[in-house]
Chain A
Amino acid sequence: EAQVTQNPRYLITVTGKKLTVTCSQNMNHEYMSWYRQDPGLGLRQIYYSMNVEVTDKGDVPEGYKVSRKEKRNFPLILESPSPNQTSLYFCASSLRGGKLFFGSGTQLSVL
């Protein structure tokens, strides 16, 4: 089944404790991206990648890192999480910027 797999679904952590949210797709998509969703602000792009080893900043990249070592995986790294990064996160992939396929989301709480 074609899908984007995102883990974990829920994560509670404390300020400053490094964490990684994983994202994997099985559709051989070149394009992958990360978004955060906050009430009243909609979906905001954090980072995107157009292919292996190619990543670019979105609208809200501060405090986040990504890597694209393999085509199927695009992890989101928070090296020192802060409470303002409490949010719902979505990973998505597509063929060259077309229809986006979203993961199931990760609800992150930073205490």
Chain B
Amino acid sequence: GENVEQHPSTLSVQEGDSAVIKCTYSDSASNYFPWYKQELGKRPQLIIDIRSNVGEKKDQRIAVTLNKTAKHFSLHITETQPEDSAVYFCAPIASGAGSYQLTFGKGTKLSVIP
């Protein structure tokens, strides 16, 4: 199956600073690259995603960038706020390839210090 590595595993930032989380994957057939946010005691929810025909996507304070050649994609959060504190997961997938065995990154715990 896909080998997915996510770094860092923990990240502390001051409120207002930026945060970057990187996800590296092994399957060159991967073509869908989502990021999920899981607040304490809640279910994971998609916050942003990108497909392989696009290099970058932005939604207000969050953005995702993709480097298919190097097989990694990154989550960028600018002007961080305390409500950004959560665990973030990446889960690249080869959508449409006929198999949807899915491997998540182990997660990044982001703490935003007021």
Report which A residues bind B (CB closer than 8 A): 31, 33, 35, 40-45, 48, 50, 56-59, 90, 96-100, 102-105
Report the 7 A-B pairs with minimum CB-CB distance, sorted nearest first: A42-B106, A97-B95, A102-B43, A43-B104, A97-B100, A42-B107, A99-B46
Contact A90 B1 (CB under 8 A): no
Q: CB-CB < 8 A to A50: which residues of B?
A: 100
Size range of the chain B interface in the assembly: 20 to 34
**A-B CB contact pairs (8 Å), 25 listed:** A31-B100, A33-B100, A33-B102, A35-B104, A40-B106, A41-B106, A42-B89, A42-B104, A43-B44, A43-B89, A43-B91, A44-B104, A45-B101, A45-B102, A56-B101, A58-B101, A59-B1, A90-B44, A96-B95, A97-B102, A98-B49, A100-B36, A100-B44, A103-B43, A105-B43
Q: In the complex, how many angstroms separate the beta carbon of A105 from the nearest chain B beta carbon? A: 6
Give Cα A99–Cα B44 distance, bound, in whole angstroms.
Answer: 11
Contact B93 A99 (CB under 8 A): no
* Residue among A35, A45, A103 having the largest count of chain B Cβ atoms under 10 Å: A45
Q: In the complex, how many angstroms separate the beta carbon of B110 from the nearest chain A beta carbon? A: 15
Q: In the complex, how many angstroms separate the beta carbon of A66 from the nearest chain B beta carbon? A: 14
Q: CB-CB < 8 A to B107: which residues of A?
A: 42-43
Beyond A33-B100, A50-B100, A97-B96, 16 additional contacts (C-beta under 8 Å) are A42-B105, A42-B106, A43-B44, A43-B91, A45-B101, A45-B103, A45-B104, A48-B100, A48-B102, A56-B101, A58-B102, A59-B1, A59-B103, A96-B95, A96-B96, A104-B43
Give Cα A44–Cα B103 distance, bound, in whole angstroms.
Answer: 7
Closest to A99 in B: B46
Q: In the complex, how many angstroms separate the beta carbon of B93 from the nearest chain A beta carbon? A: 5
